[in-house]
Amino acid sequence: MEISLTDYERFKAILEKQSGILLGDNKQYLVVSRLNGLLQESNLTSLSELINKIASPSGSVLLKQVVDKMTTNETLWFRDRYPFDYLKNTIIPELRRTTNRIRIWCAACSTGQEPYSITMQLEEISALIQTEIVATDLSERVLDKARQGIYQKIELNRGMPADKLRRYFQDLNETDWQVNERLRSKVRFQPLNLLSTPYGFGKFDVIFCRNVLIYFSNENKTKVINGLIDSLKPGGYLFLGASESLTRDSQTLKMVRCNPGLVYQKEG
Ligand SMILES: C[S@@+](CC[C@H](N)C(=O)[O-])C[C@H]1O[C@@H](n2cnc3c(N)ncnc32)[C@H](O)[C@@H]1O
């Protein structure tokens, strides 16, 4: 599939407006590899046709599918390790001194490894407190998988410790394991586009929003970070990805070291 520069620029603009995902120059190959299958399924022969279709009033279903295909859903269990240790060893004990109800939001949760990793940490320490865990993503496809909680051995090999595998999963067959029902019932998965501020989920004690802002322009990063800060309770914590940080124009937060990384805290 050939993509003219004009078509590529049109496509980039639509994708960014819908999702915040900003494609770099010369990423035509990515568009081709992600959309080839969808183009064939939809009986379209060129990106130009596809753009015309998704820009038309009858193209909203296809537009959603296109955006979904363009998301990068790379994730793993206990990614970077330190946010999960700091949550369990420092944040939860600190919050427990003042509340017995803790609200955590995992934004851009992909296929569920991150919110389930959070839930496993809480299970091990918080028998006496109530926790509410909300997990959101733009992609309905990844949310469906997350809700089912079924993972293949190859996915579990990416960070799931053997003792937790035994404790929290059920062996379905030779290749698949499912997160047990108790753990699945603790996470509420919901679709949400991070560009749609304000979010309207109420205030949270802890927000994870990791490895998604790297795909956004500075302007959208600032908009999302400010939306997340508005969704934090006073004294609440925000985890960004290991290579992400606040922007120059976002509201400021206190930086707290939790070696080898850091977490941001809203003034109490
Ligand atoms: C690379 S994954 C990160 C998953 C997980 N947070 C982690 O760090 O392992 C990025 C996720 O962000 C989601 N995403 C992209 N744009 C989004 C948007 N505008 N609103 C909500 N989620 C979005 C994608 O669907 C994808 O699942």
Residues of the chain with CATH 1.10.155: 5-70
What residues does 47 pair with on adjacent strands? none
What residues does 151 pair with on adjacent strands? 177
- Mean pLDDT estimate for the chain: 95
CB of 140 sitting under 6 A from ligand 1: no
CB of 41 sitting under 6 A from ligand 1: no
What residues does 178 pair with on adjacent strands? 150, 170
CATH class of 5-70: mainly alpha
Q: What are the pLDDT digits (tens) for 99-135? A: 989 999 999 999 999 999 999 999 988 666 799 999 9
Q: What are the pLDDT digits (tens) for 36-52? A: 999 999 999 898 999 99
CA of 71 relative to ligand 1 center, distance in Å: 7
- Tell me which of 3.40.50.11540, 3.20.20.140, 3.40.50.150, 3.50.50.60 is the CATH number of domain 82-265: 3.40.50.150
Closest CA to 145 of 187, 206, 86, 104: 187
Residues of the chain with CATH 3.40.50.150: 82-265
pLDDT of residue 2: 79
Which of 212, 219, 220 has most ligand 1 atoms within 8 Å of CB, for mutation? 212
**Entry pTM:** 0.96
- Helix, strand or coil, per DSSP, at residue 165: helix
Q: What are the pLDDT digits (tens) for 58-94? A: 999 999 999 999 999 999 999 999 999 999 999 999 9
CB of 111 sitting under 6 A from ligand 1: no
Q: What are phi and psi of 255, to 5 degrees?
A: -95, 125
Are 121 and 38 within 8 A, CB to CB? no
CA of 194 relative to ligand 1 center, distance in Å: 9
pLDDT of residue 3: 87
